[in-house]
A = this chain, B = another copy of it.
Amino acid sequence: MFVAAKGCVVLLSGGMDSATALVWTQAQGMTPIALSIYYGQRHGAELNAARQLAQAAGCEHVEMELPLGQFGASALTDSSIDMPQEPDSGIPVTYVPARNTVFLSIALALAESRGVHDLCLGVNAVDYSGYPDCRGEFIEAFERMANLATREGVEGRPFRIHTPLLDWPKERIIQEGIRLGVDYSMTVSCYQADEEGRACGCCEACRLRREGFEKAQIEDATRYIVL
């Protein structure tokens, strides 16, 4: 008997973590629908990366424009706020207000529209940047809310949010990703990458990425902007 693979909406930013989450869903036997939301980041390199990653995974890719950047209030979307070179204490200026809440909400809308009950988000609470919406207790509260908000949840076909990377240090993410066939040279982590996806090498995201490859003892194919 043929059993159709279970669908799963995966938020795909084009960074390392979501690239790993994408192939993780395939390794679990699910059929991913990648969802990329262009929210007015400073650069479009991430979206190009997302397209390459979805193509490499051979999965459907849904893209959406969402002008969250018009609200400002983050160094990721507002070029008048300087990008920090050193780790902040507490929640950094790169925090985008309610970003993962908005992203998961749209993923939920897509999932329910398609009759899919699994969602996957590559959040990570270890080598993370102090964002409140990357923590397990946020994910649990979102899942609970989602199952009160939707027809599927209310009628007893609940949604489940998978966060396989939540407790993995960066080097484990890289090791698992390599094992599952991720080509990390396609991914962009840098907060201020140029249009070709070349990294600055000095922001918080670049630092975490470099340390991850060093600890995993895997060569890092990141291309850097040479000034």
Which secondary structure characterizes the binding site on chain A? Answer: helix
- Per the bound structure, the CA–CA distance linking A82 and B117 in Å amounts to 26
B146 and A97: CB pair below 8 A?
no
A71 and B132: CB pair below 8 A?
no
A71 and B113: CB pair below 8 A?
yes
A102 within 8 A of B: yes
Q: Which residues of B contact A133 (CB under 8 A)?
A: 149-150
22 residue pairs from A and B, CB less than 8 Å apart: A64-B67, A65-B65, A66-B66, A68-B106, A68-B109, A71-B110, A72-B113, A91-B154, A97-B108, A97-B113, A97-B150, A102-B105, A102-B108, A102-B109, A105-B105, A132-B148, A132-B151, A138-B148, A138-B149, A141-B141, A141-B144, A141-B145
Copies of this polypeptide in the complex: 2
Given A66-B66, A68-B109, the answer on whether A149 and B142 have CB atoms closer than 8 Å is yes
Question: A126-156 vs B: 1/0 string, CB under 8 Å?
Answer: 0000001101011001101110111101110
Kindly list 18 other residue pairs between chains A and B, CB separation below 8 angstroms, not including A65-B67, A98-B106, A101-B150: A64-B66, A68-B106, A71-B110, A73-B112, A73-B113, A91-B151, A96-B109, A97-B109, A97-B110, A97-B112, A98-B105, A98-B112, A100-B149, A101-B145, A102-B102, A102-B108, A132-B150, A132-B153
A223 within 8 A of B: no
Docked complex: A31-88 residues within 8 A CB-CB of B: 64-68, 70-73
A215 within 8 A of B: no
Q: Which residues of B contact A91 (CB under 8 A)?
A: 151, 154-155
Instruction: Tell me the nearest residue of chain B to A159, going by C-beta.
Output: B98
Interface residue from B105, B141, B149, B150 paired with A148 (Cβ < 8 Å): B141
Instruction: Tell me the nearest residue of chain B to A107, going by C-beta.
Output: B98
- Per the bound structure, the CA–CA distance linking A71 and B98 in Å amounts to 22
Instruction: Tell me the nearest residue of chain B to A68, going by C-beta.
Output: B109
B101 and A109: CB pair below 8 A?
yes
- Per the bound structure, the CA–CA distance linking A109 and B67 in Å amounts to 11
A99 within 8 A of B: yes
A145 and B142: CB pair below 8 A?
yes
- Per the bound structure, the CA–CA distance linking A101 and B66 in Å amounts to 15
